[in-house]
Structures are given as structure tokens and as C-alpha cells.
Amino acid sequence: MVEPGILIMCILVPLLGSFLLPLLGRISAATRNVAALVFVLFSLVASGLMLPGVINGSPMRFYMDLPLGLSIGFLADGLAVFMAMTASLVAAIIVFYSFGYMEHYDNQNEYYLMVVLFIGAMMGLVYSTNLIFIYMFWEISAICCWRLIGFYRTEQVVLRANKAFLITVGGALLMLVGFIAIYIQTGTFDLLELQGRGLDGWILILILFGILSKSATLPLHSWLPDAGVAPSPVTSLLHAAVLVKIGVYVFARLFLLNFQLEVAWQTTIPIIAAVSALVSAGAAIVENDIKRVIAYSTISQLAFILLGLSCGNMIGAAGGLMYILMHSLAKAGLFLCAGIVEHSTHTKDIREMGGLAQRLPITAVAFALCAFSVAGIPPFGGFFAKYLVIAGAYETGYPWLAGVFIIGAVMTVIYLMRVFVKVFFGELTHPDLKEGSWEMIVAVALLGILSLVIGIFINVPSGLINLIVDSIGRW
């Protein structure tokens, strides 16, 4: 076994470092901002350093036994490293973007504290191999999410933050009931010991409540569009790139790598996903608030991920995982572009915007690139993911399921193009606009370019994803 120091550091540096940030903020804002970025980048680099171990087949592992079937266990296997790298990469870009976006707001110390703490919780969650610790990090992320959504502190904002908190914590409590049920039946919370077991239907339903509420899938999705009241980098971080992926990640961790999913569920969950995809895509088509459109789009795209992961074959699973990466990059880009637009025009209503491409050229291009990726236009990254997911759905033996999701994909194209055309083309409504600050521009440009480049060099992520899918023994 390799010395797991780097694995522990990867979790603890952002987790504990975040509490230094308010102190650093007293010295100078610049020091704090740089430190925040460094902590997040540290996780990215540390996760990258653990890749060789994954490829060699000797993943890093830390283990400490505790009574009651508990254990402090961390394992850097392919899925964990993949997820950690995706999350910390996107988070680092978002933190960088925040330098420009958050400059003029109060409570920045709290903002950076919560963002970095959130990333720390994310790292802890992806590497944990114990159900109770997964739950623990899950709730830490909920607390951060609650404070970040309620960042502006007005009555309505706080109410919506509370709504998000209650729905996700309520789901998580039901999930915890499920975890304890697993413990009562098996005597352990340790995932590695639970490998390959079946799961009672009612336990699965309890756990699904947690996953669906966190990943904002119908019928527990309603907190996500409302949470758009948060600052744009927060929306981007939480609702596009990282937070909502926690749910699907745990789904992958539990039901791809550990528990056997019964055949009946391999139809039921895709149907839930299908309903979620269509309903939210419909909502996205009629919404006029730019952030709500993108938020509904997130719900719709999450359904694709859930479909890929739950359809019970290799192609779908690989597609679902790849979708997590592609969607994180592209959707983060879309939210950040929306942030620039909102920042400059002081409105979120797309009916009041037009012709912004003349004033915000780089933002417009970045938005287009990200939108192409989300819509699944080749050769953007999103295309490969979407193709694999739909192919996986076809493999299940229910071709109509694939058909439904193709309709969903078409709707995605419609609402994204609608937003793009309304906002960036047509008659110029805000003649005296300026582009966002350089940090913001660089961030969105980077995300747009990454969405394209990763599609061209698709063999890089797919190599890792193949490793993960191969490790699922049963197919």
C-alpha cells in the first residue's frame, strides 16, 4: 500500500484551510483570494498525483477501524479521482472568476470560507468509503450551500436558501435512515465490505430520496431554480458543476460499484429520469429568467446522467460518467456567462436583452461554445457523453426510452438557442455595456475552450472512464 499522506492532505487542506481564509482576509483581500485558489488547486493537483496509482491498479487507501461498523476510510479509486478532478478543476475556475465578480460585495470572507469548505467537503465525500462519512460530508456541503444561496441576506433570498436546505437535508435524513437500515442488516457501514450485496427495495427508495433531492431530480427539484437568487459563481458552483453532481456521484458509487441494482429498478429509475428530463426541459423553454432557464436545463441534463448510470450496461455507465465531466464544464460556463450578462445589464429577464454580442463578444462566444457542448453538437465534449447515454438506454431493450431522451435532447437545443439568440442577437438594448472584468472573461473563455478541446481529445477522459467501468465486475 502506498503512503496515503497525499490523499489525506487532498481532503484536509481545503477543509481546514477554509477556516484560515477569514483571518487572511483581515490582512488583505488579495492574500485571501490567492489562498482560496491555492487550496482548491491543491486538491486538483493532489488528485492528479493519485492518478498513476489508479492506472497501475494500486489505488491509495487510508483506513482506520472504529467500533459499530464505522471506519474512517478513504480510497482513491478511479471513480473518486475522476470526480475529484472534475470538481476541483471547475471549482478552481469558478473561484478565479469570483475574484472579479465578488469584488464589490460585503461578507467576502464568509463567501470564500464557504466555497473552499464546500470543496473540502466534496473531496471528503468522493474519497470516503464509509456510509456515515459520506453522509457527514454530504451535510457539510448542505450547510455551505445554505449559506451561499442566502449570501445576499434579503428576506426572500434567505427563505429560498432555507427551502434548499430543508429539501436536501430532508432527503439526506431519509437516506441516513436507509444507511442505518443497511447497518442493521449487515453490521457495517463500510462500503468495501458491502461490495456486491443486494439491497431491499425500501432501503433503495430511502437512499434515492437523498440522491434525487441533492441532484434536483423530479419531484424533489424545486429548490434548484429558486436557488438562482444566489451570486452567479455560487449558482455555477453549486447548481451546475459540483453540488448537484454529489447525488449522481453517490448513485454511481453505491449502485455501480457496490450494491447490485435489481432489474426492476433499472427500468423504474430511467422512467423517473425521463419524466424529469422532459418536464424540466419544457419549463426551460417557457422561462424568461436567464438563470432559471439554465437551472431547469441542469435538472434536465441531470436526468441524462441518472439515465446513463441506472440503465445497467457498460455503455450507459460510461456515458453517465463522461456526462458528469462534460456537463460540469459546460454548465459552469453557461452560468458564469449568465453572471457576466447579469452583472452588466442588471437584469435577468431575457426579454429585456438583445444584441449583447456587439458589446460582450467574448462572453457571447464562450456562451455559444458551452451551449453547443450542453446541446450535444459534435465535436464538443457533450456530444460524446450524450451519444453514449442514449446508446446505453437503447441497449436496455426499451428503444422508446432512448426516443424520449432524444426528444429531451432536441428540446435542449431549442431552449439554449432561444436564450442565445434573444440575449446576444437582435437589436442592441444596452448600448453602454462593458465586458466583465478580465478574471471573469478568462474564466468563461477557459470553460468554453475546454468544452471544445476535451471533445477533440476525447480519448483522454475516456481512458480513465474505461478503467472505472472495467472495475465494475459484473458486466
Partner 1 sequence: MPDQFSMLVYSFLGLPLAALVLFNLFGKRVMTKFYMPVGMGICLVQMLSAIVSLVLLSQYNKDAITFSQFWNYQLYEGASYFSPDTFSFLSLLCIGLVGLVTFLVAYPVLPDRRFQFCNVTLVLLLGMNGIALVYDLFSLYVFMEVTALSAFVLIALYRDAKGLEGSFKYLMMSAIASAFILTGLALIFLNTGSLQYDVVQAYLANWQNGPNPVLTQIGFIMLMSGFSIKAGVAPFHGWLPDAYQSAPAPVSIILGGIVTKMAGVYAIIRLVGEWLPGSSVVNVAFMFLGLLSIVLGAMSAIGSTDFKRVLAFSSISQIGYIVLGISSGSPLGFVGAVFHFFNHSVFKSTLFVNSAAVEMQTKTTLIDKLGGLHKQMPVTGTSNILAFLSTAGIPPLAGFWSKLLIIIAVWQAHGGVVAGVALFASIFTAVYFLMVQRKVFFGPCREEWKDVQEAKFSIRLASVLLSCITVGVGCVFPWILRFLGAQGWI
Three-state SS sequence of 80-137? HHHHHHHHHHHHHHHHHHHHHHCCCCCCHHHHHHHHHHHHHHHHHHHHECEHHHHHHH
**Which one of 164-172, 324-332, 338-346, 413-421 is the stretch in contact with partner 1 (CB under 8 A)?**
164-172
**Is position 183 an interface residue for partner 1 (rule: CB under 8 A)?**
yes
In angstroms, give the least distance from the CB of 186 to partner 1. Answer: 13
**Which one of 4-12, 36-44, 177-185, 430-438 is the stretch in contact with partner 1 (CB under 8 A)?**
177-185
* Cβ within 8 Å of residue 140, ≥6 positions away: 117, 118, 120, 121, 124
In angstroms, give the least distance from the CB of 137 to partner 1. Answer: 8
**Which one of 3-11, 158-166, 365-373, 422-430 is the stretch in contact with partner 1 (CB under 8 A)?**
158-166
**3-class secondary-structure state, position 70:** coil
What gap in Å lies between CA 456 and CA 102, rounded to an integer? 33
**3-class secondary-structure state, position 289:** strand
CB 441 within 8 A of CB 435: yes
Q: Which is nearer to partner 1, 153 or 351 (CB)?
A: 153
* Cβ within 8 Å of residue 416, ≥6 positions away: 297, 371, 374, 375
**Is position 135 an interface residue for partner 1 (rule: CB under 8 A)?**
yes
Q: Which is nearer to partner 1, 169 or 244 (CB)?
A: 169
Listed residue (368, 247, 227, 366) closest to 301, CA to CA: 247
Torsion angle in degrees (nearest 10) through CA of 424, 427, 430, 434: 50
**Is position 150 an interface residue for partner 1 (rule: CB under 8 A)?**
yes
CB 60 within 8 A of CB 4: yes
| Bridge partners, residue 73, by sequence | 63
**Is position 8 an interface residue for partner 1 (rule: CB under 8 A)?**
no
Write the binding mask 91 to 130 for partner 1: x where contact by CB under 8 A, - elsewhere. Answer: ----------------------------------------
Q: Which is nearer to partner 1, 19 or 438 (CB)?
A: 19
**Ramachandran area for residue 67 (φ above 0: left; ψ -120 to 50: alpha; else beta):** beta
Q: Which of 166, 365, 413, 433 binds partner 1 (CB under 8 A)?
A: 166
CB 116 within 8 A of CB 18: yes
In angstroms, give the least distance from the CB of 238 to partner 1. Answer: 18
Q: Which of 60, 176, 385, 402 binds partner 1 (CB under 8 A)?
A: 176
* Cβ within 8 Å of residue 272, ≥6 positions away: 212, 217, 218, 306
Q: What's the grid cell of residue 257?
A: 460499484
State which H helix or E strand residue 271 sits in.
helix 265-286
In angstroms, give the least distance from the CB of 141 to partner 1. Answer: 11
In angstroms, give the least distance from the CB of 331 to partner 1. Answer: 28
Q: Which of 6, 51, 63, 170 binds partner 1 (CB under 8 A)?
A: 170
**Which one of 181-189, 300-308, 367-375, 426-434 is the stretch in contact with partner 1 (CB under 8 A)?**
181-189
CB 142 within 8 A of CB 168: yes
**Is position 142 an interface residue for partner 1 (rule: CB under 8 A)?**
yes
**Is position 140 an interface residue for partner 1 (rule: CB under 8 A)?**
yes
State phi, psi for 190 to the nearest 5 degrees. -80, 125
Q: Which is nearer to partner 1, 184 or 286 (CB)?
A: 184
**Is position 456 an interface residue for partner 1 (rule: CB under 8 A)?**
no
Q: Which is nearer to partner 1, 184 or 407 (CB)?
A: 184
DSSP 419: H
**Which one of 34-42, 140-148, 374-382, 433-441 is the stretch in contact with partner 1 (CB under 8 A)?**
140-148
Residues 30 to 69: which contact partner 1 by CB under 8 A?
A: 64, 66-68
Binding site for partner 1 (CB under 8 A): 64, 66-68, 70, 72, 132, 135-136, 139-140, 142-143, 150, 153-155, 158-159, 162, 165-166, 169-170, 173-174, 176-177, 180-181, 183-184
